[in-house]
Structure 1
Amino acid sequence: MNSSIAGLEKADAFLLVGTQPRVEAAIVNARIRKTVLAKQAKVGYVGPEADLNYEHQHLGTGPDTLLEIAERRHPFSSVLLNAKNPAIIVGAGLFERKDKDAIFSALETIAKYADAVRPDWNGFNVLLLKAAQAAALDLGLVPESENSIESAKFVYLMGADDVNLEKVPADAFVVYQGHHGDRGSRLFGDARDDWKIIRALSEVAGVKLPYDTLGAIRSRIKTVAPNILNIDEREPATFSFSIKPESTKKMDSAPFGTAVDNFYMTDSITRASKIMAQCSALLLKK
């Protein structure tokens, strides 16, 4: 959260786009609910029908509504314009859409006219779903191509338990490095500290990394992404437009989907829980 989770309580208007915080991030949702009850903050939601556990306006289901808001043709546009601290929360599921550049271009327009990003307030937030994803982005770990895994001959899954294994080619050599309870653990059986695995692999590959201790690794991280080492501190959010390069593509009319299909089966811990399995079975019956 660029505004910080606690900072959400300073907002007086929320625009939720393609995200259902109640099932994606319960703590974030609790903060929004607290703000709605305490300050009567307005909440506009764009996405499929959902029970967010607080009063909100269901503005629409997809890009058409978002475009109306961006072009100030929607009644909720005036709510954002009149808000002192508007907060926009974007769901990570939007990154999976082919029209994501056009969507973020519209979101940029909204953030600009609503003055959601300024020196004293940063109300533009992307709600990520995957553990350590923010840190990976800080380190610059991004795929060169969206379809690179489909043509890969060697796949190294570094704690990536959310990868669609059906897309991995049958003839690819797969290495999985992660928690023993994750779904991908059946692909890799030895247990060592993560950094030692990478260090040993680099030597075998002929590109030996100059790290022999945890301290040396942290020293390198400090030069690449120092905020990762500030465990007891929160680095102030910095933000500059453009969010995405200006897009000439049009948004697809397909409505936004649901990022979390089964609230009770979202990670290795819940998938191994008998109680969560029972809750999941009841959910599927509905």
Structure 2
Amino acid sequence: MFNARIRKRWRAGGFKVGVIGAKADLTYDYDHLGAGTETLAELAAGKHSFMDVLKNAEKPIILVGAGAAARHDGAAILAASAKLALDVGAVKDGWNGFGVLHETASRVGALDIGFAATSGGLNAAQMTTFGTLDLLFLLGADEIKASDGTFVVYIGTHGDRGAHRADVILPAAAYTEKSAIYVNTEGRVQMTGRAAFPPGEAREDWAIIRALSEALGKKLAYDSLQALRQAVFKAVPHLIRLDQIEAGSADQIKKLAGKGGSPEKAPFKPLVEDFYLTNPIARASAVMAECSRLASGQMLTAAE
């Protein structure tokens, strides 16, 4: 969807696009600037010819893909990208042209409520290293490859990769089976209503975690969805403002740019290997499977 917006603007004319990373068919023309961090460093140092395009743009945009941020040197890459955004005027009064495109639907909302590793915490790579954890909870996480020896509890819907690895499965309600608040990739808060009740023993995620907390003797302080939402709104007030985007902070971008660091000299690689099979719902779809087959160039031969 985001790429479609870029294409729409490109079709209007007068719009230059530069890409650092793997070459791909984006459905519009772009300048391939380079494959990795060396090109980003050249831009940041003002030594790349595309720097003139960015500096002369009325509203320049620096967009960082999730693949770059997910690397071991992701913090340094984000810092260099933020500094570049400041240098070319992508962050100024009335305009914030610095953004990160996340690869999962829940990532922005999770970051809004602080659901991320803090100082001294473990990242995903560390959690999945053999011998690091005795117990791992997967909250609908189907792309995590837990190491042998780790006891895995899976809370999810579609019986996908995470469920196949799990030692215990706690069935959760699908997104159509619960009333929920979502935050999309641009930070817009949205609310949905339940279309159907979950089947069998499936429960909404919050109810599962609430029940677990009581069983463990650490009872959480809410007994209903309304009580939970009140606690969330108190902690993160902007989540109550539906269909609105919380404005980014220029000071936070400046703080990020000041963190520095030394990115590794390695090319950027996309996180998504197959566009049509990126999540459990898509992987369970016969239509998406057919699209994936056609996109890969595979042809079926009719039996004689």
TM-score over 0.5 for the pair: yes
Higher relative contact order (CA 8 A, sep 6+): 1
- 1:19-57 Cα deviation digits (max 9, x unpaired): xxxxxxxx1111111111214211111111111111211
* Mapped partners of 1:189, 1:273: distance in 2: 23
Say yes or no: does 1:109 pair with 2:83: yes
Do the aligned partners of 2:37 and 2:267 also contact (CA within 8 Å) in 1? Answer: yes
- 1:130-176 Cα deviation digits (max 9, x unpaired): 1211111111111312203321111111122221x2xx232322111
- 1:208-259 Cα deviation digits (max 9, x unpaired): 11101111101100122222332333333334222265234x3222111122
Shift of 1:181: 4.7
Secondary structure of the corresponding residue to residue 156 of structure 1: strand
Q: Which amino acid aligns with 1:58?
A: H
Q: Which amino acid aligns with 2:240?
A: L
Say yes or no: does 1:242 pair with 2:233: no
The alpha-carbon distance between structure 1 residues 237 and 246, as it changes in their structure 2 partners (threshold 3 A), is: closer
Do the aligned partners of 1:94 and 1:256 also contact (CA within 8 Å) in 2? Answer: yes
Q: Which amino acid aligns with 1:247?
A: G
Aligned to 1:230: 241
- From 230, 237, 256, the counterpart of 2:268: 256
Do the aligned partners of 1:101 and 1:245 also contact (CA within 8 Å) in 2? Answer: no
* Mapped partners of 2:31, 2:98: distance in 1: 19
Secondary structure of the corresponding residue to residue 246 of structure 1: coil
Q: Give runs of aligned pairs for residues 112-191 of structure 1, distance below 5 A.
A: 112-143=86-117, 144-146=121-123, 147-150=126-129, 151-163=132-144, 165=145, 168-186=146-164, 187=166, 188-190=169-171, 191=202
Q: Give runs of aligned pairs for residues 1-286 of structure 1, distance below 5 A.
A: 27-143=1-117, 144-146=121-123, 147-150=126-129, 151-163=132-144, 165=145, 168-186=146-164, 187=166, 188-190=169-171, 191-239=202-250, 240=252, 241-243=254-256, 246-248=259-261, 250-285=262-297
Do the aligned partners of 1:105 and 1:246 also contact (CA within 8 Å) in 2? Answer: yes
Q: Which amino acid aligns with 1:119?
A: D
Q: Which amino acid aligns with 1:276?
A: M
Do the aligned partners of 2:79 and 2:257 also contact (CA within 8 Å) in 1? Answer: yes
Secondary structure of the corresponding residue to residue 11 of structure 2: helix
Do the aligned partners of 2:81 and 2:257 also contact (CA within 8 Å) in 1? Answer: no
| Runs (5+) with no aligned partner, structure 2 | 172-201, 299-304
TM-score if structure 1 supplies the norm length?
A: 0.83
Shift of 1:196: 1.0
Aligned to 1:15: none
Segment drifting more, 218-227 vs 127-136? 218-227
Shift of 1:71: 0.3
RMSD between superposed Cα atoms in Å: 1.8
The alpha-carbon distance between structure 1 residues 237 and 105, as it changes in their structure 2 partners (threshold 3 A), is: closer
Q: Which amino acid aligns with 1:155?
A: L
TM-score if structure 2 supplies the norm length?
A: 0.79
- 1:263-283 Cα deviation digits (max 9, x unpaired): 121111221122322332344
Do the aligned partners of 2:90 and 2:97 also contact (CA within 8 Å) in 1? Answer: yes
